[in-house]
Amino acid sequence: MFHHVKSLQFNARVSRPDPRFANLLLEQFGGENGELAAAMQYFTQAFGAKVPHPDKYDMLMDIATEEFSHLEIVGATIQMLLKGVNGELKDAAEQSEIMIAMNGKAAKESVIHAALAANPQFPIITGGGPTPRNSQGVPWCASYIHSNGDLTVDLRSNLASESRAKLVYEHLMKFTDDPYIHETLSFLMTREITHYKMFEAALDSIEPNFPPGVLAADPRYLQNVYNLSAGTVRGPWNEGEMPGMGKNFEYVADPIAYVNETKGLTALPDEKAKELAAAEQLNKEMSKIKSEEVTKAEPKGVAQWSTYDAISQ
């Protein structure tokens, strides 16, 4: 159950209309890395997490709800940046004002003309307000959402989402000198960092959380890194210990010869056979654990999402 409180989480303010920046800010309203995308992503992920990870369900719903509040902040800011557009458009009888605004010196001084130049949809489609589109006018799309049904995968997606959103806010701050908007964007950018650390802590609390999913990596192919370009640089990504794996990278300097010698990786050294058997046994164990994780938490009989327990105040 959602309960809307009309006071914004952060007191959004603007010092003057700026349709140009309002259009840029649409990226965080209806864009791929915006607040609507984040809210819907975490909201969607929460459904699959409720039974096996009720604590993470609570976290996801809390952050999704906050993202909706950030969407309201961004929308309110866009609306204030378009101050004057909506009122003039409502004066349908006085079309001459709009016509004058599109010609001569008056055009440079008119917020209507500025809105047309920034985004024709402001005066033509949205009536001087925000809409779930990005700065190029592309409508918001559900393909922006990453929800894979495996919480460790989803949390890693969320780390990337928060990183991208933080970067967008950082870039947006370069395109306005309004101190009030800077305050708002700084708040929103900082909350992305907070959410990142929350998701990181949640991922660390799940054991095991690597590799993603259920099945272990096939040891026959796990350690190889291939020299696939002239002058490949060596570093901790292709030499030394694989982070957290207890194994070392095996650098294949001549991958063509290696593939030929192993008959397309089908004739590998015998020592890998024991590791493969161990991996297959681990797969069986993890499959049972992951399955029981859900089935043991599911109630018998009629399924009921909420218990409506009394909440202490």
Distance of CA 105 to the CA centre of its chain: 43
Mean pLDDT of 112-119: 68
| Contacts with 161 (C-beta within 8 Å, 6 or more apart), sequence order | 33, 37, 38, 41, 146
Residue 98: is its pLDDT beyond 60?
A: no
Instruction: Read off the pLDDT of residues 187-207 as tens digits, 9 standing for 90 and up.
Output: 999 999 999 999 999 999 998
Q: What is the pLDDT of residue 117?
A: 67
Distance separating alpha carbons of residues 299 and 309, to the nearest angstrom: 16
The pLDDT assigned to 293 comes to 76
User: What pLDDT, on the 0 to 100 scale, is given for residue 313?
Assistant: 54
| Average pLDDT over every residue of 38-67 | 96
pLDDT value at position 220? 86
pLDDT tens per residue, range 234-261: 999 999 999 988 899 999 999 999 999 9
Residues with Cβ within 8 Å of residue 251, at least 6 apart in sequence: 225, 227, 234, 238, 239
Confidence label for 108 from pLDDT (cuts 50, 70 and 90): very low
- Span 273-287, pLDDT tens digits: 778 888 888 888 888
Question: How does pLDDT run across 298-312, given as a tens digit for each residue?
Answer: 777 887 888 887 665
Q: Rounded to an integer, what distance in angstroms lies between the CA atom of residue 69 and that of residue 4?
A: 9
**What confidence score (pLDDT) does residue 90 get?**
53
Residue 47: how many CA atoms within 13 Å on its side-chain side? 7
Taking the C-alpha atoms of residue 61 and residue 64, their distance in angstroms, rounded to an integer, is 5
Distance CA 110, CA 97 (A): 9
pTM for the predicted model, two decimal places: 0.84
Q: Are strands 250-252 and 224-226 parallel, antiparallel or unpaired?
A: parallel
Asked if residue 238 lies in contact with residue 251, where contact means CB atoms within 8 angstroms, the answer is yes
Beta partners for residue 226, in sequence order: 252
Which of 24-28, 97-101, 170-174 bottoms out in mean pLDDT, i.e. has the lowest? Answer: 97-101
Quick one: pLDDT at residue 56?
97
Is pLDDT above 60 for 93?
no
- DSSP character string of 211-240: SSSSSPP-TTTSSEEE--STTPPPSTTTSS
Q: Which residues, listed in sequence order, are joined to residue 241 by a DSSP beta bridge? A: 248
Rounded distance, CA 80 to CA 85, Å?
10
The answer on pLDDT for 265 being more than 90 is: no
| Predicted pLDDT of residue 91 | 53
> How many angstroms separate the CA atoms of 299 and 204, rounded?
27
What would the mean pLDDT of 52-68 be, rounded to a whole number? 96
Residue pLDDT, tens place only, 143-155? 999 999 899 999 9
pLDDT exceeds 50 at position 183 = yes
Above pLDDT 70, what percent of the chain? 86
